[in-house]
Amino acid sequence: MSDPIRFYYQHQVHEVDSVAPTKTVLQYLREDLHCTGTKEGCAEGDCGACTVVTGELVHGQLEMKSVNACIQFLPALDGKALFTIEDLKQQNAQLHPVQQALVECHGSQCGFCTPGFAMSLWSLYLSQEGSSGSPCREKINETLSGNLCRCTGYRPIIDAARRMTELPKVAFDRAALTRQLNDLQRTDMFVYEQHGQTFYAPRTLEQLVAVRAQHPLACILSGSTDVGLWVTKQMRALGDIIYIRQVAELSHISESDGKIHIGAAVSLNDAYAAVTGHYPQLQEMWQRFASLPIRNSGTLGGSVANGSPIGDSAPWMIALSAEIVLRGPAGQRVLLLENFYLDYMKKDWQPGEFVEAVRIPLPQPQQQFRTYKLAKRYDQDISAVCAAYAITFDGDRICNAHIAYGGMAATSRRAPKAEAALNGQLWTQATIEQAMQMLALDYTPLSDMRASDNYRMTTAQNLLRRFWLETSGTPVSMSVFAAGCADVSNS
Ligand X SMILES: Cc1cc2nc3c(=O)[nH]c(=O)nc-3n(C[C@H](O)[C@H](O)[C@H](O)COP(=O)(O)OP(=O)(O)OC[C@H]3O[C@@H](n4cnc5c(N)ncnc54)[C@H](O)[C@@H]3O)c2cc1C
Distance, CA of 165 to CA of 473 (rounded, Å): 43
Among 303, 367, 411, 431, binds ligand X (CB under 6 A): 303
Judged by CB under 6 A, does residue 177 bind ligand X? no
Q: Closest CB to ligand X among 46 and 338?
A: 46
Find the shortest distance in angstroms from Cβ 42 to ligand FES.
4
Q: What is the smallest separation between the CB atom of 304 and ligand X, expressed in angstroms?
A: 8
Residue 79 or 293 having the CB closest to ligand FES:
293
User: Is residue 42 within 8 Å of residue 70, measured between CB atoms?
Assistant: yes
159 neighbors 107 (Cβ within 8 angstroms): yes
Which of 148, 264, 325, 409: binder of ligand X (CB under 6 A)?
A: 264
Q: Minimal distance in Å, beta carbon 382 to ligand X?
A: 6
Q: Residues 96-135 vs ligand FES: string with x where CB under 6 A?
A: ------------xxxxxxx---------------------
**What distance in Å separates the CA atoms of residue 374 and residue 386, rounded to the nearest whole number?**
6
Contact assessment for residue 406 and residue 316, using Cβ atoms and an 8 Å cutoff: no
3, 2, 46, 40: which is closest to 24 by C-alpha? Answer: 40
Which uninterrupted H or E stretch holds 458? helix 453-471
Should residue 290 be labelled a site residue for ligand X when binding is judged by CB under 6 A? Answer: yes
CB of 210 vs ligand X, minimal distance in Å: 15
Under rule CB under 6 A, residue 167 binds ligand X? no
Residue 112 contact partner, candidates ligand FES, ligand X, none, CB within 5 to 8 A by sort of partner:
ligand FES
Choose one: 38-46, 282-290, 430-438, 452-460; the region binding ligand FES (CB under 6 A): 38-46
Tell me the closest approach of the beta carbon of residue 247 to ligand X, in angstroms.
9
Single out the residue of 151, 382, 420, 446 in contact with ligand X (rule: CB under 6 A). 382
Residues 325-364 that bind ligand X (CB under 6 A): 354-355
From residue 166, alpha-carbon distances to 219, 223, 368 in Å are 47, 35, 44
Q: For ligand X, which residue of 45, 48, 55, 445 counts as binding (CB under 6 A)?
A: 45
- Judged on CB neighbours under 10 Å (0-12, 13-18, 19+), 160 is buried
What values do phi and psi take at 361, rounded to 5?
-60, 145
Instruction: Report how far residue 488's alpha carbon sits from residue 491's, in angstroms, rounded to the nearest whole number.
Output: 6
- Using N-to-C axis directions, what is the helix angle for 429-442 and 453-471, rounded to 10°? 150
For ligand X, which is the closer residue by CB, 190 or 481? Answer: 190
Query: Which residues, 43 to 102, sit near ligand FES by CB under 6 A?
Result: 43, 45-50, 68, 70
Q: Would you tell me how many other CB atoms lie within 10 Å of the CB of residue 475?
A: 9
C-alpha 225/C-alpha 216 separation (Å) is 22
In the list ligand FES, ligand X, none, the entry touching 354 (Cβ below 5 to 8 angstroms by class) is ligand X
Type of residue found at 211: V
Among 43, 85, 244, 403, binds ligand X (CB under 6 A): 244
> Taking CB within 5 to 8 Å according to partner kind, which of ligand X, ligand FES, none is near residue 151?
ligand FES
CA 281 to chain centre: 17
Binding region for ligand FES (CB under 6 A) out of 124-132, 143-151, 258-266, 338-346 = 143-151
- Write the DSSP string, 183-223: HH--SS-EEEEETTEEEEE-SSHHHHHHHHHH-TTSEEESS
Report the interface residues with ligand FES, using CB under 6 A: 40-43, 45-50, 68, 70, 108-114, 149-152
Report the interface residues with ligand X, using CB under 6 A: 44-46, 219-227, 229, 244, 264, 268, 289-290, 294, 297-299, 301-303, 305-306, 311-313, 354-355, 380, 382
